[in-house]
Amino acid sequence: MSLTLIVLLPFIGAVLPAIMIRAGRNACATATGSVTLLALILLAVQAPAVFSGEVISVRYDWLTGLGLNVTFFLDGLGFLFASLILGIGLLIIIYARFYLSKDDPMGRFYVFLLLFQGAMVGIVLSDNILLLLIFWELTSLSSFLLIGYWKHLPEGRQGARMALTVTGAGGLAMIAGMLILGNIVGSYDLSVILQNTDLIQASPLYVPALILILLGCFTKSAQFPFHFWLPHAMAAPTPVSAYLHSATMVKAGIFLMARMWPVLSGTPEWFYIVATAGLITMVMGAWIALFKDDLKGLLAYSTVSHLGLVTMLFGFGTPMAAVAGVFHIINHATFKAALFMTAGIIDHETGTRSIRRLGGLMHLMPVAATIGIVAALSMAGVAPLNGFLSKEMMLQEAWETTWFDLNWLVPLLATIGALFSVAYSFRFVVHVFFGPRRDDYPAHPHDPPFGMWAPPAFLVVLVVLIGLFPAVVAGPLVAVTSAAVIGGALPDYHLALWHGVNPALGMSIAAIIGGLLLLWRHGGLSSAMENMSRPDAKAMFDIVIARIVGLSRLISDNLHDGSLQRYLSVMIVAAVAIGASGFYAQADHLAGTRAILPVTLPALIGWVLLVVSCIAVVFTHHNRLYCLLLSGVVGLIVSLGFVYFSAPDLALTQISVEVVTVILMLLALNILPKESPKESTTSRKFRDGLIASIAGLGMGGAVWAVMTRDYASISDYHLAQSYVGGGGNNVVNVILVDFRGFDTFGEIIVLGIAALAIFALIETVTQGEAAKRLAGWVVQARRSKDRHPLMTVVATRVMLPLALMVGAYIFLRGHGEPGGGFIAGLVVSIALIMQYMASGFGWAQNRLKANYHGMIALGVLAAGITGLAAVVGGFPFLTSDYGYVTWPIVGTFELASAMGFDLGVFLTVVGAVMLALAKLSQVERMAGHVEINVEPMDHDPSAAAPSPSKEA
């Protein structure tokens, strides 16, 4: 339980700084520190158990199916890292309180820091590799926020993104590796995985898993060739650098290698990958550090180098090397964090981090200088400090290592690495603290406040104590940690200053002497280095990212060029292709056996008309009015086809819809250009023609294939039940309002929505560009002076009652004969629209006074309520009923609930058509710049006086 709390505390506590910042910076820092301290205390409480070799674990089921559970365990390794994370974290929190300026949003800083802290603790305590992955990625995210904390600095932003990219990529690779590992073992629980060394190393998937996991480790721990992001992350505030980039996050990779050491190490693959990468990193990092003038840059590359050292040790795969690695982790954490904090103090006090601008600080800030010097000497591996101890162990291990039959290579390179390390450490000491005092520091340096130097001082004390009394101070921790790493019996080792004269001592002395010599010649070397062209990691990274983004843009922008013509042609080609691939997936295609109907004369005539009209549409489509007329003919022929093929309802509907469509299109065409420009190239026309022909062939072929074969349909039931169950003889209508009334319910809603959407679309025409365009509209064509010809007015007056009669007839007979609410609705709408057309909008609108919105709504409600009436009666929605009523004189007639439904259809259709057309005509009036008429005709000869509209 307390184990869980240790992990959760930083996360829970992360809300505190955000809240407490209003109470002041001290309160905020105190709250943050308290959280960390509490976690540290909880950890310390576990110490006795851990040191006695116990493994404390806790488990909560989370996603058991996947194998992702909240399981934590605390062994020596976890204890070491958790202590480092929380302990150094606490120091950093204190340090940061003084480091950050008043302008820096401190609350935010502490929030990010605690999130990061929690994630790190999570990594080191997870007993489930999926859970570990979660925390792993969380460190990438929180470090991204921390590195970019000073968001006004471009270096910070870029560094943050680079770190996120590299460590994120590694993390993703590791996900794959972990999943493979989990699958080899059959469990994602670390404690199970750690028991299955043989199984894992025998698996054919061992190498991929190893490589993928190592990718995660190497990126996180900045190992060659992924080391380049770390120096750029140094743009972060120094507390961040000290915490993330020396003490904790970069050690996550190291931690994982240590954690996985029992199951992954010991193979040649492990050795050659890990040890080689570590070795290269160690030497190269140290070499680069030597020439860094930026204090934090120097420390950053030194960190890279030291991480390489530890990696190399783990890579050796021997228990002894592992112990050395563990010990160096502890030592490095102490001196490097102290050094970072010292660098921060120098930066803070002098205003610069450039070694070239520093020197002589010993006199100005003796306390800080002392701390820095001791820590740096430890880094150099000078006795009797702790860095010396672990470096000796490293050199000894290197001495005993053979690399591809070369027994001198590793010792030599290790010595050179140590040599460089000595050189840059002494450079730090000499060029910063010693030498003459300068008078051109950007600020006036003096020792910082206690709160700022106390944390590094504490660490430096540890550096000395461990150096002097390693077995007492660090012995138990090293033992218990190493035991956890090795997972078996500890080798015979001694933590002591003096191991006698051995190769390591010789290598060490050589390194120190060589290092000092190197420092002596540093100036010349440095300028030589500057003249050498070196690959700049950041520039390369930027170029790579820019190239990738560029390539992405090339692909994405060219593909998504906004051309509907392309999108449509792709879609149509895809449809034809997928249909054909399905059709031809089978080798043999049986021809249909259904009898073919004979061709008759009317059918042949219709066919000729259709074909000619279609061809004419294609060839004359630039003239839009012709195009419309011709497509109207096509509609007429299709309607005739419906008549011919026993579908009178379809013919009725098609014809009615056709007229409304024509009216609609004419309304639009009045505003739109009357001609389409000829802008297609011949090749384009040819291509489109080809696509169109293939689509046509496909569709025609498919329909031919269907029509020539027999089938059985569920519609026999509809024919049988139409009258018995639905009370209607028109089976199509009964299907529409009864069997499949739900379709119709949706269908009228589509119509209603279309009208509402059209209304909304045109409603906005009075604003913005459209309104300007309409206000300046020039009516191009010659216009007749006769707005409302007398004859048409009179004729439509006569027609209105007739058309309504027809509408009523079509509505009422629909259930038994062709017709129904939809067609009736269109008939009535067209009759009404005819009034608008003949007598003008103003006059007709004043007389109609219908609420079309309400009509649509009422229609939907009527249909819905008819359906719900059945529900009230205990039947499913839309269950119909019908019966026969006998009235005197009138006789017997049928009443069906479906008529209520059909009434809804009728109302919706009338409302929708009228709303859409009447609203659309508003645009025309705006463009036409004419008065709305109040009289039905321009001049009424029956009236004695001239019409009032003319006088106005």
Do 254 and 327 contact (CB within 8 A), yes or no?
Answer: no
Contact pick of 838, 896, 899, 910 for another protein (by CB under 8 A): 838
Assess 59 for contact with another protein (CB under 8 A). Answer: no
Assess 199 for contact with another protein (CB under 8 A). Answer: no
Do 770 and 764 contact (CB within 8 A), yes or no?
Answer: yes
Tell me how far apart the 2 most distant CA atoms of the chain are, in Å. 135
Subset of residues 869 to 888 that bind another protein, contact rule: CB under 8 A:
870-871, 875-880, 887
Assess 804 for contact with another protein (CB under 8 A). Answer: yes
Nearest in space to 866 (alpha carbons), one of 911, 899, 895, 894: 899
The CA distance from 663 to 665, in Å, is 5
Contact pick of 491, 527, 773, 894 for another protein (by CB under 8 A): 773
Assess 151 for contact with another protein (CB under 8 A). Answer: yes
Subset of residues 909 to 928 that bind another protein, contact rule: CB under 8 A:
912, 915-928
Assess 510 for contact with another protein (CB under 8 A). Answer: no
Do 282 and 301 contact (CB within 8 A), yes or no?
Answer: no
Subset of residues 93 to 122 that bind another protein, contact rule: CB under 8 A:
none
Assess 664 for contact with another protein (CB under 8 A). Answer: yes
Assess 660 for contact with another protein (CB under 8 A). Answer: yes
The CA distance from 211 to 196, in Å, is 18
Minimum separation from the CB atom of position 265 to another protein (A): 25
Q: Indicate if the alpha-carbon torsion angle 429, 432, 438, 443 is positive or negative.
A: negative
Contact pick of 72, 116, 135, 458 for another protein (by CB under 8 A): 135
Do 258 and 314 contact (CB within 8 A), yes or no?
Answer: yes
Contact pick of 52, 64, 101, 531 for another protein (by CB under 8 A): 64
Region from 259-267, 355-363, 520-528, 542-550 binding another protein, contact rule CB under 8 A: 542-550
Q: Is the peptide bond before 448 cis (omega within 30 degrees of 0)?
A: no
Helices within 351-469 (DSSP H only): 361-364, 366-380, 386-399, 409-428, 450-468
User: Which CB, 475 or 579, lies closer to another protein?
Assistant: 579
Assess 544 for contact with another protein (CB under 8 A). Answer: no
Torsion on CA atoms 681, 699, 652, 903, rounded to nearest 10? -100
Assess 192 for contact with another protein (CB under 8 A). Answer: no
Assess 638 for contact with another protein (CB under 8 A). Answer: yes
Cα atoms found within 13 Å of the Cα of residue 593, Cβ hemisphere only = 2
Distances from the Cα of 472 to the Cα of 43, 151, 465, 786, angstroms: 20, 45, 9, 112
Assess 653 for contact with another protein (CB under 8 A). Answer: yes
Region from 280-288, 309-317, 522-530, 757-765 binding another protein, contact rule CB under 8 A: 757-765
Contact pick of 492, 769, 883, 945 for another protein (by CB under 8 A): 769
Contact pick of 443, 471, 496, 605 for another protein (by CB under 8 A): 605
Do 147 and 236 contact (CB within 8 A), yes or no?
Answer: yes
Do 710 and 594 contact (CB within 8 A), yes or no?
Answer: yes
Burial of 323 (0-12, 13-18, 19+ CB in 10 A): buried
Subset of residues 710 to 739 that bind another protein, contact rule: CB under 8 A:
711-715, 717-719, 721-723, 725, 729-732, 735-736, 738-739
Contact pick of 54, 536, 542, 557 for another protein (by CB under 8 A): 557
Assess 203 for contact with another protein (CB under 8 A). Answer: no
Contact pick of 627, 828, 899, 903 for another protein (by CB under 8 A): 627
Minimum separation from the CB atom of position 299 to another protein (A): 25
Q: Read off the tokens for 306.
A: 């030291």
Distances from the Cα of 731 to the Cα of 8, 192, 726, 881, 882, angstroms: 69, 69, 9, 16, 15
Region from 42-50, 92-100, 352-360, 608-616 binding another protein, contact rule CB under 8 A: 608-616
Q: Is the peptide bond before 411 cis (omega within 30 degrees of 0)?
A: no
Region from 139-147, 359-367, 421-429, 451-459 binding another protein, contact rule CB under 8 A: 139-147
Region from 164-172, 257-265, 310-318, 492-500 binding another protein, contact rule CB under 8 A: 164-172
Contact pick of 644, 884, 894, 895 for another protein (by CB under 8 A): 644
Assess 642 for contact with another protein (CB under 8 A). Answer: yes
**Radius of gyration in angstroms for the set of CA atoms belonging to the chain, rounded to a whole number:** 43
Contact pick of 494, 548, 884, 895 for another protein (by CB under 8 A): 548
Region from 46-54, 234-242, 338-346, 709-717 binding another protein, contact rule CB under 8 A: 709-717
Subset of residues 387 to 406 that bind another protein, contact rule: CB under 8 A:
none
Contact pick of 854, 884, 894, 895 for another protein (by CB under 8 A): 854
- 3-state class of 493 per DSSP? coil
Binding mask 560-599 for another protein (x = CB under 8 A): x-xxxxxxxxxxx-xx--xxxxxxxxx--xx---x-xxxx
The CA distance from 332 to 462, in Å, is 11
The CA distance from 412 to 394, in Å, is 12
Q: Does residue 101 come out as left (phi exceeding 0), alpha (psi in the -120 to 50 range) or beta?
A: beta
Torsion on CA atoms 251, 253, 255, 256, rounded to nearest 10? 170
Q: What count of other Cβ atoms lies within 10 Å of the Cβ of residue 919?
A: 18
Subset of residues 672 to 691 that bind another protein, contact rule: CB under 8 A:
672-673, 676-681, 683-684, 688-689, 691
